[in-house]
Amino acid sequence: MTNPIRRIGQFALEVLRGLGHNATFFIDLLRNMPAALRRPFLIVAQVHAIGNLSLLIIMASGLAVGFVLALQSYYALVTYGASESLGLLVNLSLVRELGPVVTALLFAGRAGTSLTAEIGLMKAGEQLAAMEMMAIDPKSRVLAPRFIGGIVAMPVLAVLFSAIGIMGAYVVAVQLIGVDEGNFWSIMQNGVDVWRDVGNGIVKSVVFGVICTFVAVYQGYEAQATPEGVAHATTRTVVIASLSVLAMDFVLTALMFTH
Amino acid sequence: MGKKSIETLVGFFVLLGIGGLLFLALKAANLGSFTSSADTYSVTAKFDNIGGLKVRAPVRSAGVTVGRVAAITLDPKTYQGVVRLDMQRSVQFPSDSSARILTSGLLGDQYIGLEAGAEEKVLGPGDVIKQTQSAVVLESLISQFLFNKAADAGNASAGSAPAPAAGAKK
């Protein structure tokens, strides 16, 4: 009779303990960042592994999203004679929301899982334990460079996503559909503010980069040192990172874009 | 992969990011201009009210785009809007052509409509279009309409009621 109640209480305490463990891990990671910054090549190698290798999927997705946004927005706007504002609509959608969020979701799926799997397998192969034996904190040599690499790579990817999306929308709108080119760019330029829209989008993408990379690194480090454990950790990375990004997006949008 | 090639690739990655950011910033901040100035010539036109005309709005004649609005300034002496138009070199207009500010659609964006005149001499670079018609301002139209309506109603009731009623209507 008291078993379900005890299980609920146990579950709640586990959640609290997990949150606390997350927080101490995050502070530990921050503490190790200066050591990582003293070895810049480690960070450069991680930016390559995380950012460069994600270029293809981010740019292809950006192009596709730009095409589709232009098409759908045109047919919605032309009903009200507002098809000249197509460029503005596409730009604001991409730069404020779709760029940071979709890039973060793709990033969690592509780079997050590879980070988790790599660190989990290092743990399974006892490489992290071996490092600790040599009095090297694995957080400073393995985890912190990956964390910094993710934070550096994410805004770059988000900006590229938005830029290529706008170019794709230009091709569809002006060349294919026939929207006036001058109006496309000039209404967009008059309606988009560099600091408020582009700048806030970049702030969002930095926050999402921190979230995705931290979740990936944490799940990898805390994975069970077995193949199933690594598989579970990889799944948890994608799910937790994606949900956190979406929730954080709502909070940030409410903070940044409402009056 | 060697150390040098990784650093080169990451440098390329960061360069792409900066390029994307510049593209977004220039597109959003109206700093760049994308028209080539080699095959256009400039003429100016003065308007009492340019309405919602923007830079890079099209200049159309018979519906065909023949140029773009290059710059909009205010003449400090006559307080008229001075609009500089970049016209395509392939099209020449007589020097008595007229320019009007028209709206595409009912609430769409405004453009300049050119109607060719009858002179033999054509507009050259730096010439001024003398015959212009300003933009239609919606608010003036509405207030004029309401005023006419009120005046009509006042006249109608003056036929069947004494004068003070008509005076009070106004």
- pLDDT tens, residue by residue, B70-104: 889 999 999 998 999 988 888 888 888 999 998 87
Q: Is the dihedral of CA A100, A103, A106, A108 positive or negative?
A: negative
What per-residue confidence (pLDDT) applies to B33?
Answer: 42
Task: Give the ipTM.
Answer: 0.79
Residues of A in contact with B9 (CB under 8 A): 48, 52
Q: How far apart are CA B124 and CA B93, in angstroms?
A: 9
Residues of A in contact with B108 (CB under 8 A): 81-82, 84
Residue whose entry in the numeric block shows the structure tokens 């005023």: B147
Kindly determine whether residue A183 and residue B109, on different chains, have CB atoms separated by under 8 Å: yes
Cβ burial of A25 (10 Å; 0-12, 13-18, 19+) is middle
Range scoring the smallest mean pLDDT among A53-62, B16-25, B38-47:
B38-47
Nearest to A163 among B10, B23, B56 (CB): B23
Question: At CA A166, angle to CA A163 and CA A168, rounded to 5?
Answer: 110
Kindly determine whether residue A47 and residue B55, on different chains, have CB atoms separated by under 8 Å: no
Residue whose entry in the numeric block shows the structure tokens 């988790």: A116
Q: What is the pLDDT of residues B3-23, one digit of tens each?
A: 889 989 999 999 999 999 998
SS3 A155: helix
How far is C-alpha A225 from the chain's CA centre? Answer: 26
Q: Is the dihedral of CA A91, A97, A98, A100 positive or negative?
A: positive
The answer on pLDDT for B34 being more than 50 is no
pLDDT band per the 50, 70, 90 thresholds, residue A259: low
The answer on pLDDT for A69 being more than 90 is yes
A118 to chain B nearest CA, in Å?
A: 18
Cβ burial of A32 (10 Å; 0-12, 13-18, 19+) is buried
The values of phi and psi at residue A134, to 5°, are: -90, 15
What per-residue confidence (pLDDT) applies to A200?
Answer: 93
Kindly determine whether residue A44 and residue B7, on different chains, have CB atoms separated by under 8 Å: yes
- Under DSSP, the state recorded for B57 is -
Whether A206 contacts chain B with CB within 8 A? no
**Global pTM exceeds 0.80:** no
The answer on pLDDT for B58 being more than 70 is yes
> Considering chain A, what is the average pLDDT of its residues?
93
Whether A169 contacts chain B with CB within 8 A? no
